[in-house]
Amino acid sequence: MPKTLTHSISISISQQTLSLYQGTSLLKTYAVSTALKGVGCEKDSGKTPLGKHIIRAKIGTDEPLNTVFVGRRPTGEIYTKPLADAHPNRDWILSRILWLSGTEVGRNRLGQVDTMQRYIYIHGTPDTEPMGIALSHGCVRMRNQDIVELFDLIEPFAFVEIVE
C-alpha cells in the first residue's frame, strides 16, 4: 500500500503550466508544452489527456542532464545540436520521465482511452523548444532542469490532474 502522499501536480492546458503542490500549498509553477493537437484521451490521437492521473513510474534516476530516452531506456546518448541535426525527426525525450496512468475508467483508463498504454509522460525536451506553447505529440514537455527538479520532489503514485 502506498504511503500517504503530500505532493500533487496540476497541469493547465490553457495556461501551459504545471503547478506543484504540497498539501494545499503551491510550491512552484513551471512552464510546459502540451499537445499541438489539443486535448483528448483517445489512442493515436496525438492529444494530451484530461482528468485525474497518477505517476505510475519514475524513469531516469541519476541519469545525466540531457540523457536521451527511447522506449523509456537511456540510449547512451546525450542530446546535442549535432545529434539533433543528424536526427531531425526524432521526438526528443530527455533527462527524466514521469509516466502517467489515468485513474478514471472510460475517460483516461482502459480501452481506447488508456493514458498509460498511450505512453503519456511528463518529460524533458531540448532547451531550444519553446515552453508555454502547445507543440508536443501528447506528452507534457518541460525544461530539463525543471523536470529533474520536479522528479526529485515528486513521489511515485502522486496525484496529477490535467485540466483545460
Asked if pLDDT for residue 1 goes beyond 50, the answer is no
| Mean pLDDT confidence for 90-109 | 97
The band of 3, judged by pLDDT with boundaries at 50, 70 and 90, is low
Q: What is the mean pLDDT of the chain?
A: 96
Q: Which of 144, 108, 114 is nearest to 32 (CA)?
A: 144
Tell me the residue length of the chain: 164
Asked if pLDDT for residue 6 goes beyond 90, the answer is no
The rounded distance, in Å, linking the Cα atoms of 37 and 147 is 23
Asked if pLDDT for residue 126 goes beyond 50, the answer is yes
Asked if pLDDT for residue 4 goes beyond 70, the answer is no
Which cell numbers in the block locate residue 26?
Answer: 503551491
Domains of the chain with CATH codes:
7-163 (2.40.440.10)
Give the DSSP H/E element, type plus range, for residue 162. Answer: strand 159-163
Contact in structure between 13 and 34 (CB atoms under 8 Å): yes
pLDDT for 55: 98
The rounded distance, in Å, linking the Cα atoms of 131 and 136 is 10
Asked if pLDDT for residue 48 goes beyond 60, the answer is yes
**pTM of structure:** 0.95
The rounded distance, in Å, linking the Cα atoms of 15 and 111 is 29
Q: What percent of the chain has pLDDT over 70?
A: 97
